[in-house]
Each structure stands twice: as structure tokens, then as C-alpha cells.
A and B are shown apart, each in its own frame.
Chain A
């Protein structure tokens, strides 16, 4: 580097761009300016989660237990992909480095992804997929409710639109969890097993770090811990009706929101990013 730019000046974006132009073979890694970095991270945390979950859910297309379910699940995946375009689009705008939502989705490696570990878990059986969806939806719904009051109007607008979609996702996944929990002995067993297996991946949703604290202080994103009470209430209500037992282990796997993932994410990205990686610079 010719010089060390002052990371607090607004010119940093320009400096980075100039440097990239001067050294086209070694472009500097894009860096959002310090004030926006936490905001950028927060947007990746939600946008990457909707992206990876949308990917997982779309794996069912053509393979669901009934046509009606196939269609319904594709609607959920479509909503999540649409939300991803908005969140990552805003992230790219906030970053200000000239990247697009597609660049963020297709040209980052796993360590730069900020999604919850929960959403990269493999689909398992259909009940497992629905349980993962329910645990996520119940959190997603709380998050979007809070975000629709964000002091950043762009965030509030996306959250308001996504909130309507997710209210329906939650209605549907809750309904199916109840029906399958309180269905046959086999469906009850499968749903309890899914809940037990996924439970250690739920705690991460409520663990804040210093970046969360920064955006919370600015009133842009809520403190993750503040979403817990609403989520707990939804779970108690739905899982109670489903006759399922909420595990009492407080243990939580974590790291997804900071970029330390399970092995599964690498395979998801290898598949998802294949064309962009194999044919760099092509337009599709």
C-alpha cells in the first residue's frame, strides 16, 4: 500500500477505489468506512441468513411429499430470495465499494458469510426442514417487527415488506409443526428429534457482540437479546400445542454471525457460486 488511509475519513472509499485502479491485478479488499462497518455487518447477518435458508428450502423443489407442499415451500424460498436481494442490495450500498447484491452472494468465501448456523443445517426429512423453518420464522418475525421501527428508513421499509411475508411463513410453519407434533406416533417422534437436533443452533440468534451493540446504539438494529422473550412465547405456545418438549439445555453453538461456520456452508457455496467462479466476469 502506498499509504495508510485514515479509516475515519469519508474519503476512504475513494482512496480504496483509486488504489484498486492503480493496481488492477491486486485490488484492495473493499472495506466499508468505520462508521458503516457495523451496519454493513448487520445487513449481511440478515441477508446471508435469508440467502442460505432460501437456498436450503429451494432444494425441496420437485421433491416434497405433496404437490401443495412443493408449491408452498417454493413460495417461502422465493420470498427469502427476494428479501436477500433487498438486504444485500442495501449492504452493498452501505459498503459503498461498487459491489452489487450478486457480488456479495456469489463472490465471497465462507469466512465472509455472516448467516446463522441454523440455516445452513442440512434439510433432513420434511419434518426437520419444517422445524428449522419454524424456529427461524419465530425469530425472523420478531426481528422484522423490531426492524420496521428502525431509525434507518431503508431498513424500516424492507422490514415492513418482508414482515408481511414472514408473518405468513410463521403461520404456516407453526400450523404444520402443531399438526405433525400432534399427528401420529411417528410424526411426533420425528418432530421431537428435529427439535432436539436443532435446538443448540437457536441460541446464537440472541447473542450480541460489539457490532450489534453499535447498530443497536444507533437505533438501526435491535439488540439480539431483546428478541428472546417474543420468540420464547411463540415457542411455548406452538410447541405446547404440538405436544413437543422444549429442550432445557442452554448450550448454543455460535460463530456463524462472525464468519466461523459449519462444514456445510462450504458445500452450499461451492454449488451456489459455481458458475460465477468458473466463468469470472461473464454476464448471465
Chain B
């Protein structure tokens, strides 16, 4: 997902918990929200900072593969819609950084960690967007996968995170639809457009499946996060749900999901499908995806090139405040 492989602090049994930890866990179990100034275990705070931070980074790095096509959008309306969507992603990044900031870390600190490669963002954004059909496929598959994770996170235990997710889900409802609308145009279009649409699905299908993170049996950090209601579902649950939802949508488009093993399984009431190539996933996480260097490079450049601007506004605000103070004397 937008937060993959978030390292969580070790899980404790009830017997091992201090009275404070036990009371905290009971509040979560009762469905109470935890608010910024309240006592929380250090592990809860740290895990949340990592997860919300990673989620926020994914939003702003996620601007890049789609931003790539704003200047090449094929009609004025498509241009406006895409720009509005990529702008929303900046907004979502902003909401999430704000939520992380309530945990005692500043946005600039989080940015510095991202730029230093000490914090990650979703692996999906290290794949290139090569044709206009990718704008459709990203909206349809990537936003579709993200929504699958974000809807349950609206009920997460940390108040500011939960509120950010509610706002994001509300705003994001048009994102997946606009992607699917592009795919419909392409799939019903000229032979070249159909080819483009199928090619986009071929390239993005497995990277989209990877967004949910490795299989539960290999995911060591899930238990504690689920107890804290920071993680609401297992990776495999969400991946299955995503496949079950997406396959009929692909069929409607007349496109073929690039998986020869894809088959409806009556017994489990879901599709059987092939696992993505997890060695590729770990390569991408390690920095060897097709676009890792470009994506991070673009973020670092934006940050460094903008340093004089951010600083000048601080200096101006100080000057103006000093002038006002002097005038008031």
C-alpha cells in the first residue's frame, strides 16, 4: 500500500504490558480515538510517524508520474481534470504531514528523511508512465488499490490520522472514476488506443498488486499494528479484495489481465491469481526500480531550488512584524 513494510515496534502480550499500556490498549479496543496530547506508548508514536510519513511521501512523490502528463494531456478538459487530481495529491500529502506533525515531528524533518533515503514511499511510484493510457491505469488500478486500504483506515485509532483519511477518501472518490473513464475511452477507441490500454494494464497490474505489501506469512510487523488499529486488514485480505473487484472491471473494458493463472474459485468466492515477482518488489524498495533515482532526484531538486524562496518569506515576515511592532510603540 502507500505504506508498505512499515517497521512496527515489538508486540506485547497483555501480561507483559505496564498498567498504562494496558489501559491504552483497552481504550483502543473500545474504539476510542487517541488524540495528540494523550499518553501513548513510544512504539505506537514511532510506528505511526513512520506509517503516516511514508503515506505522505507517497502522495507527493505520487504527483510525479502523473504530473508527467499534464502538459501532454490530449484535451483541455483532460488537462484540467488531471491537474486537479495531481493537485489533490499535494493536498493529501499536506493533510498527512499535518497529522504526522501532531506526533512531534516537523514536516521539514520528514522531508529531510525522505531526501536522505531514510524514509520510503510506495514502490508503485518508481514505475514509469509511458503513454496516456497510463493516466487511466494509474487512476483505475493505483488509486483503486489505495482506496481499498484507505477506506478502512478512516477507522484507525489515531484521531488526526483518521480525520485526514476521512477527508482524503471524500476527495479521492473522483480519482479512480476519472482513471476508469480514460480507460473506457481508450478501450472503445481506435486500435492504437486499445493497444495502449492493454499495454498499460500489462505493465501496471503486478506493480499494483505489490502495493499491498508482501504476503502476510512474510510480513513480520503486522500483529502489533493491527492490535493498535493502525493497520486494519492484512495485506493478503486487501489484495484478494482488490483482484476480485478489478477483474470484472477489466472484463468490461475488454482487456485481458496479464495472468494465465487467473481463475474464479467458487469455493473461496474469489479469484485465484499469480503472486507478483517479489524479488522485483525488493529490488524496487532497495532503490533499483526503473524511476527511483529520477523520482527522488526531482523531489530533492524541488526542495533545494526552493530553499531561497522559503527562507525569504520567513525573513520578510520577521521584518514586517518588527515594523508593525515599531509602529505600535
Let me know if chains A and B touch directly in the complex, using CB atoms closer than 8 Å. yes
Say how far A190's CB is from chain B's closest CB, in angstroms.
7
Instruction: List residues of chain B with CB within 8 A of the CB of A105.
Output: 76
Q: Which among B218-226, B246-254, B299-307 touches the partner chain?
A: B299-307
Instruction: List residues of chain B with CB within 8 A of the CB of A74.
Output: 83-84, 86-87, 90
B76 touches A75 (CB 8 A): no
Identify which of residues 58-111 in chain A touch chain B, using a CB-to-CB cut-off of 8 Å.
58-59, 61-71, 74-75, 77-78, 81-82, 84-85, 88, 101-102, 105-106
A55 touches B71 (CB 8 A): yes
The answer to whether B298 has its CB under 8 Å from any CB of chain A is yes
Instruction: For A62, give its contact among B73, B75, B86, B192 (CB under 8 Å).
Output: B86
The answer to whether B130 has its CB under 8 Å from any CB of chain A is no
Identify which of residues 161-205 in chain A touch chain B, using a CB-to-CB cut-off of 8 Å.
178-180, 182-184, 186-187, 190
The answer to whether B189 has its CB under 8 Å from any CB of chain A is yes
Q: Which among A31-39, A213-221, A269-277 touches the partner chain?
A: A269-277
Instruction: List residues of chain A with CB within 8 A of the CB of B190.
Output: 279, 281-282
Say how far A68's CB is from chain B's closest CB, in angstroms.
7
B93 touches A102 (CB 8 A): no
| Bound Cα distance A106, B84 (Å) | 20
The answer to whether B64 has its CB under 8 Å from any CB of chain A is yes
A63 touches B79 (CB 8 A): no
A275 touches B72 (CB 8 A): yes
Q: Which among B39-47, B277-285, B312-320 touches the partner chain?
A: B312-320
Interface size of A by CB at 8 A reads 50
| Bound Cα distance A101, B77 (Å) | 10
The answer to whether A6 has its CB under 8 Å from any CB of chain B is no
Instruction: For A65, give its contact among B84, B90, B185, B306 (CB under 8 Å).
Output: B306
| Bound Cα distance A186, B311 (Å) | 10
B60 touches A67 (CB 8 A): yes
Task: Annotate B92-120 by CB proximity to A: 1 below 8 A, 0 otherwise.
Answer: 01100100000000000000000000000
Say how far B140's CB is from chain A's closest CB, in angstroms.
16
Kindly report which residue of chain B lies nearest to residue A104, judged by CB atoms.
Answer: B76
A179 touches B313 (CB 8 A): yes
The answer to whether B34 has its CB under 8 Å from any CB of chain A is no
| Bound Cα distance A74, B86 (Å) | 9
| Bound Cα distance A180, B313 (Å) | 7
Residues on B lying within 8 angstroms of A by beta carbon are 60, 63-64, 67, 70-80, 83-84, 86-87, 90-91, 93-94, 97, 132, 182, 185, 189-190, 192-193, 298, 301-303, 305-313, 315-317, 319
Given contacts A66-B309, A271-B71, A275-B132, 4 further A-B contacts (CB under 8 A): A62-B302, A70-B63, A74-B84, A184-B308
Identify 5 residue pairs between A and B in the complex whose beta-carbon atoms are under 8 Å apart, listed by A's number: A58-B83, A61-B67, A66-B310, A85-B80, A284-B185
